[in-house]
Amino acid sequence: MNLRKKVNLIKRKGGNNIELIEQFKDWEKNRHDYAKQWKEKSGGKVIGYFCTYVPEEILYAADVLPVRVLGSHEPQDVTEPHIFAMFCPFCRDCLAQGLKNRYKYLDGLMIAQSCLHIRQAYTSWIKHRPVEFEKFLCMPHKVQSPHSYEFLTEELRTFKKEVEDWTGKKITDNDLKKSIEVYNENRRLMKKLYELRKREKPPITGEEAMEIVIAMQMTDKAEHNKKLKELIKKLEKYTPDREVGSRLMILGSEDDDTVFMNMVEKCRATFVIDDHCTGSRYFWNETENGKDPLASIAARYIDRVPCPSKDWEERKRIPHILNLCKEWNVDGVIIMQQKFCDPHELEFVAIQKALKDAGIPTLFLEFDVTVPVGQFKIRVEAFLEMIGEEDLF
Amino acid sequence: MENEAKYPTEKLKCWNKAKEIRLKFYKDYAEAHDNGGLRWAGGAWTFDAIPAGLGDDVFPITSEPYGATIAFDKDLSMECMEAAEKEGYPRDLCSYMRNYWGSIIIDKYPFGYDEKGQFVPRFKGAKSLGFPKPDFIWQDHICCSHAKWYQVVSDLEGGIPMFTVDNAVGPSNELNDSKIKFVVEQLKDGITFLEKATGRDFDDELLYKAIKNHFISTSKWAEICALNKIIPAPLDEKSIYSLYVLGTLQKAGKQVADFYEKDLLPEVQDRVKRGIAAVPNEKFRVMSDTQPPWSFLSIFRYLEKFGCVSIGSLYTFGLIGQWEVKKDGTWGAKTIPDVEFSSRDQALYEYVKYELHKPEWQHFYSCHLKSDMMIRIAKEWKLQGVMLHYNRGCEGLTVGIAENRLALLDAGFPVMAFEGNNADEREFDEGRTKAKINAFMETLGAK
């Protein structure tokens, strides 16, 4: 039995109301089975996507299920001939999933322009595991330019046509509006769930929230909405009996490491908020209901909380992070830096400074796809001790 | 070793002029304020014809060549790297960028004045000047580090007005009006920014001249590189590094356009005519890729011991050079647009339309586009093999390099991969690389 499985077995002790989120956990853990079953049931196509700048609404409007490609957190030896070793472990882990045929059921694969590392995973994948439909969507980098709205709208117009040609289905404005509504509802519900975490005793842990957000990125949103509504209804009346401890925020590179979350939350701490593309950044902004649905979708992706690769010339993410810290009453922040992830490496010095100036302590940790839980535990405990110093003395 | 000379060789006559242009570039930047001029900072790929519209006394410093210049001064580079690391910046980030930031942090410019009052590099005895703070930043963004680089520069300098153009609008084979206009509109916003930041009026006539210079520099450089298809190659890559760099400094500058068109091109044409070789014992031809480890250019001289000439690379050909497929299907210099400028909008449109074809921008969208261009070079420049620098110092140019290797092997070209860093000498193992070269040369048939 590998370490991760062992940890999975014992980690339930860290949570508090697992039975409420069992469905989401199941979707997250058995993502491939879910997608295959969805395909069988609906007869529709499934597309894998690499970055949260992919406008899923257009795909969903064409009855395509978009599923985010994530890694498996297992050591692998298949990507060395394809990606230079100084590229981030996440992009290599993602490519490994493709090369190992774990996503064989995909009909299409796409990426929106974001960081170079994940793009390399995409370009290698389509060459060595070709799919029926492939797309590099030219999402603008300069989202702070007023011209980016028109540019992206045009790119989406082309993309829509390509999806129509691929699926054989004409995507009407009405289809887009319906799709937008399903996605917006999902975003609203997720924000509502996150709002509950503001409570003195948050009804879910950070690990559980992570499982729900990850499941969100690989399931049919309508189905996710249904279960999410049920969950929120239960959680609204629920007060956990676990100790909250220090209220933490986690931010940084792509992060779906539930093992780490669980370890920290067993050390008298609770993650109450995050700023990850696998977390809050994925759903934070809604699509406005405009005249031209494509223009509305474009505006949503331009105006969303930016990935650091697009956060210039002004650093708009920092005030957002500081605001999250304030609103969720955060005691400390763990900065999770994926090894070799340049956009975040270019950002964390400024973020650390801003947090320090705001009097919020930080712990910086560099992650790989596998986490040295023991070593990190010692550092996390020391950090939590430092945060709780005033209580001790 | 293949030491027997087969061809005549001679030094380039315009060599010293190239060096003078380069040194003057750094001098002009440092002294700009002394004469009431302006200083600006931006990348080697930035649309530098735009700030040219602010006047003839506006001088740039381009990021990547500046980072490479520091790298060549090993002691200074080490100081810079350590200073950047002390500020918390990870050492796996772009090494040009870390040199650049370090130079600001320790306030040292790699140039200064010697005892005779001559402006010379630090390693030639000059006392370092402080880093001359730019008046504004004019950057482009296609690599993840570009705009972020200058956010940090601005932070370190306590705030500098900054404008960045997003030029990542997709590969040239998918270019359309919307993509061109997105960049054009940003340039127009940029002009408004420049006027506001400097308090100067923008001169369209100066812009038109600069764009024409840009066309000449980039097309003529490609024409020069195309002459290296000839056997024996008139230029070797180590020399090419000192020549292409002018285009990375100021491709829209008249001195660079004139040098390429009126000095270097005629001289290389003459070398071809007279059969003058860069490497007199040329027997094998290879190319490299990505920036070299700047502190160890001697590895290119080491190749010559085996009768091997590195004829250049997609990097040196296509970083600045503009190319097109000619009627016979081969790669040649891009035709300079036969167009007169009558308005700012029209000039910007032509400028952007032309520039978005830059070969070194294509692999940012797909490494397979780059593989195709590399295979083309390998065939048309008649190569026996390829040396790929797995460059830890530049993610932008190493993206897809492993796929390039596989594609070149599939196309029948032997590949030697070596790991290093363009500007952080701590990450280059010279002995090991030479041992790899020995083995590679042996496989090519060198004795």
Query: Is the Cβ pair B166, A140 closer than 8 Å?
Result: yes
The string of DSSP codes covering A240-270 is: --S---EEEEEEES----HHHHHHHHTSSEE
Query: Is the Cβ pair A151, B169 closer than 8 Å?
Result: yes
Closest CB to A313 among B151, B366, B368: B151
Residues on chain A bordering chain B, Cβ-to-Cβ distance under 8 angstroms: 80-84, 86-87, 113, 115-117, 119-120, 123-124, 127, 136, 138, 140-142, 145-148, 150-151, 154-155, 308-309, 312-313, 315, 339-340, 342-343, 345-350, 352
Q: Which of B34, B86, B81, B41 is nearest to B57 (CA)?
A: B34
Q: Are B137 and A107 in contact (CB under 8 A)?
A: no
Residue B104 has pLDDT above 70, yes or no: yes
Distance CA B386, CA B47 (A): 31
Average pLDDT over every residue of B86-106: 97
Alpha helices in A65-142 (DSSP H): 89-99, 116-128
Residue A273 has pLDDT above 50, yes or no: yes
Confirm or reject contact between B291 and chain A (CB < 8 A).
Answer: no
What pLDDT, on a 0 to 100 scale, did the predictor assign at position B1? 59
Burial A303-320 (b: 16+ CB within 10 A, else e): bbbbbbbbbbbebebbeb
Q: What are phi and psi of B275, to 5 degrees?
A: 70, 30
Given pLDDT bands bounded at 50, 70 and 90, which one contains residue A17? low
Q: Quote the mean pLDDT of chain B.
A: 97
Q: Quote the mean pLDDT of chain A.
A: 94
Task: Give the tens place of pLDDT for each residue, A150-200.
Answer: 999 999 999 999 999 999 999 999 999 999 999 999 999 999 999 999 999
Task: Give the tens place of pLDDT for each residue, B252-293.
Answer: 999 999 999 999 999 999 999 999 999 999 999 999 999 999
Closest CB to B168 among A113, A308, A339: A113
Q: What are phi and psi of A89, to 5 degrees?
A: -60, -30
Q: Residue B367: list chain A partners with CB under 8 A.
A: 120, 123-124
Closest CB to B147 among A127, A312, A345: A312
Closest CB to A124 among B155, B398, B403: B403
Could you identify the residue written with the tokens 């249904």? Answer: A226
Interface of B with A in 129-148 (CB under 8 A): 141-145, 147-148
A162, A342, A344: best to mutate for the B interface, most B CBs within 10 A: A342
What pLDDT, on a 0 to 100 scale, did the predictor assign at position A11? 43
Query: Is the Cβ pair B144, A138 closer than 8 Å?
Result: no
Closest CB to B151 among A147, A155, A312: A312
Amino acid type, A370? T
Shortest CA distance from B184: residue in chain A: A147
Closest CB to A147 among B182, B368, B406: B182
Residue B6 has pLDDT above 70, yes or no: yes
CA B93 to chain centre: 19
Alpha helices in chain A (DSSP H): 3-10, 18-29, 31-42, 56-61, 89-99, 116-128, 148-167, 173-196, 206-216, 221-236, 258-265, 280-283, 293-303, 317-327, 342-345, 348-357, 373-387, 389-392
- The helix-helix angle for A116-128 and B401-410 (nearest 10°) equals 30
CA A122 → CA A49, B49, B145, B366, B384, distances in Å? 9, 35, 20, 9, 31
Burial B390-402 (b: 16+ CB within 10 A, else e): bbbbbbbbbbbbb
Shortest CA distance from A307: residue in chain B: B144
What pLDDT, on a 0 to 100 scale, did the predictor assign at position A58? 98
The pLDDT > 90 percentage for chain A reads 91
Residue B196 has pLDDT above 50, yes or no: yes
Q: Residue B186: list chain A partners with CB under 8 A.
A: 142, 145, 147
Closest CB to B399 among A116, A136, A339: A116
Distance CA A320, CA A213 (A): 19
Comparing B332 with A12, the larger pLDDT belongs to B332
Smallest CA–CA distance, residue B144 to chain A, in Å, is 6
What pLDDT, on a 0 to 100 scale, did the predictor assign at position A371? 86
What pLDDT, on a 0 to 100 scale, did the predictor assign at position A393? 52
Distance CA B181, CA B192 (A): 17
The CB-side HSE value for A153 (13 A sphere, CA atoms) comes to: 13
Confirm or reject contact between B340 and chain A (CB < 8 A).
Answer: no
Amino acid type, A234? K
Q: Residue B395: list chain A partners with CB under 8 A.
A: 86-87, 116-117, 342
Smallest CA–CA distance, residue A95 to chain B, in Å, is 13
Burial A253-276 (b: 16+ CB within 10 A, else e): bbbbbbbbbbbbbbeebbbbbbbb
SS3 label, residue A15: coil
Task: Give the tens place of pLDDT for each residue, A55-67.
Answer: 999 999 999 999 9
Query: Is the Cβ pair B182, A151 closer than 8 Å?
Result: yes
Smallest CA–CA distance, residue B167 to chain A, in Å, is 9
Average pLDDT over every residue of A253-272: 95
What pLDDT, on a 0 to 100 scale, did the predictor assign at position B341? 98
Query: Is the Cβ pair B164, A142 closer than 8 Å?
Result: yes
pTM over 0.90: yes
Average pLDDT over every residue of B94-105: 97
Residue B162 has pLDDT above 80, yes or no: yes
Given pLDDT bands bounded at 50, 70 and 90, which one contains residue B212? very high
Closest CB to A342 among B141, B144, B163: B144
Residue A3 has pLDDT above 80, yes or no: no
What pLDDT, on a 0 to 100 scale, did the predictor assign at position B124? 92
Query: Is the Cβ pair B185, A154 closer than 8 Å?
Result: no
Distance CA B226, CA A254 (A): 44
Q: Residues 6 or more apart from A338 whose CB is under 8 A from it?
A: A88, A89, A90, A252, A253, A254, A255, A344, A366, A367, A368
Residue A10 has pLDDT above 50, yes or no: no
Across the A:B interface, residue pairs with CB atoms under 8 Å apart total: 134
What pLDDT, on a 0 to 100 scale, did the predictor assign at position A392? 53
Given pLDDT bands bounded at 50, 70 and 90, which one contains residue B4? confident
Q: Residue B403: list chain A partners with CB under 8 A.
A: 82, 120, 123-124, 127
Can you tell me the ipTM of this complex? 0.96
What pLDDT, on a 0 to 100 scale, did the predictor assign at position A6? 39
